[in-house]
Structure 1
C-alpha cells in the first residue's frame, strides 16, 4: 500500500434493510491533501461521513468492504476517532449545547485528550481560539452558543476539531448554513490551517464553489456510487461522467 494514503476505503457497502445506500465505495485520501466529495442531496455523502466516523444509526448495516486509517481497520472501538480523526459539522448553531458555555465545550474536549489543570485548559482554549482568528477569547469562552454568530461558532468548531492535533478532519457541509461573506472567510481559514498544520481534510459538500476553492482531489458520488475521481483541475475542466458534467452545467 502507498505510504502517502491516510484513509483507504475499500468496496464499502452500506444497506438499510435491503436497500443499498452506499455501493462498493472505493476512495483514498492522501496525506496533506484535501479530498472533496460532491453530489446532490441524498446521494450518500453524509452517510459516507458517518461510516468513516463509525456513527451510523442502528438501522444502517455495513454489508461489505472496510475502511483503513494509516493501514489499520477502523471500527467503533478504534481509539483514532475523536483524536486523530475529528469532524466539523454543518449548521454550527445546532451543534452546541445551549446550556453550556463555550469554555465548557472546550474543557470537555480537552479532558478527553489531556490531563490538565483548569488554568492550563483555559490557556489552551484561548490558544486555539486565536488560531482560528478569534481574539476576544475571555468573552467568547464565557458566552453561550446563542450569544454568538454562526461564523464565530463555525470557527469555534474548527478550533475544537484541531485541539487533539488530528491527522484527518472530516468537514461535512461546513459552509452550508452561512452567508456568502462568512463562507468565504471560513474557506480561507480552512485552507490556511490545512497548509499550516499539514492536515488531510475530507470535504463533503454540494457547493462546487467551495470545492474549487479548497479541494486538491475530487470524488463525485451519485446514487450511492463513486462515478468519477480525479484531481480538481481535471474534474472541472475535463469531466468524464455524464453526471459530473450535469453538476457543472447546473452550477454555471
Structure 2
C-alpha cells in the first residue's frame, strides 16, 4: 500500500484516487457488514449477488492496485514483511477481542506474502512480456477462483475438481485449501489472488512504457487521492472505529 509515483517523482494521481475510491467502498461495506452481521439489521441483498459483486470489486481493486505498487516500491521485501507483520497483529487482536470474527489469512497476510514472493521471483516473472503476464494473470485468476471450494473453472462453473485430500489438513489454507474446520472472517489465499496481483505488476510495466498513459493518470482528485495515500492506516483503524461508533449509537441513541 504505497504511493503511486513514477521513478521521475511524478505522482499518478488517478491511481491514488482509484485506491481511495476502493477504500471508501470498503468503509461503507464494512459499516453495513457490522450492522447486518453483528447488530441484526435486515438487508437481504447484502448476502445475495449484489453484496458479493460489491465485495469482489473491493477485493480485486485493492489487490490489483497493490500489484501495481510493487513497481514503485524501493524494497518489496521490507514492504511485504511490514504488511505480513500487521496481518499477524490483526490475527492476534481478533483472536483476543473477537474470536468469533478471527482473521487467519486476510488481505494483509496475502499482500505481505505476495510482496515477499515478488521480491524473490519478480526478476524471473519480469522476463515475460508485460502483455502476456497481464492477460495470463487475469485468465488464471478467473480459472482458479473456485480453489477454496474444491474446483477450477470459469467463475462458478467447475471444469476440474481438485483432489479432496488437499482439504483434509489444517496447514494448506494460505495456499487456498482450507481444512474442514477452517474459519476466517477475512480470507484471501494465494490461489487465486496471486494471479491478480501479478497482473497488477504487469500493468505497472505497461505504465512505464506508455508516457501518454502516465500523463493521463497524473491528474489529482484531492480528497480521494489523499485517502488513497493513507490506505494502510485507514485499513488498520477503520473496523474498531466503525464498530465503536455503531455500538455507541445502539447503546445510547437507538
TM-score (norm: length of structure 2): 0.26
Higher normalized contact order (CA 8 Å, seq sep 6+, divided by chain length) = 2
TM-score (norm: length of structure 1): 0.26
The structure whose residues are more often helix, as a share, is 2
The structure whose residues are more often strand, as a share, is 1
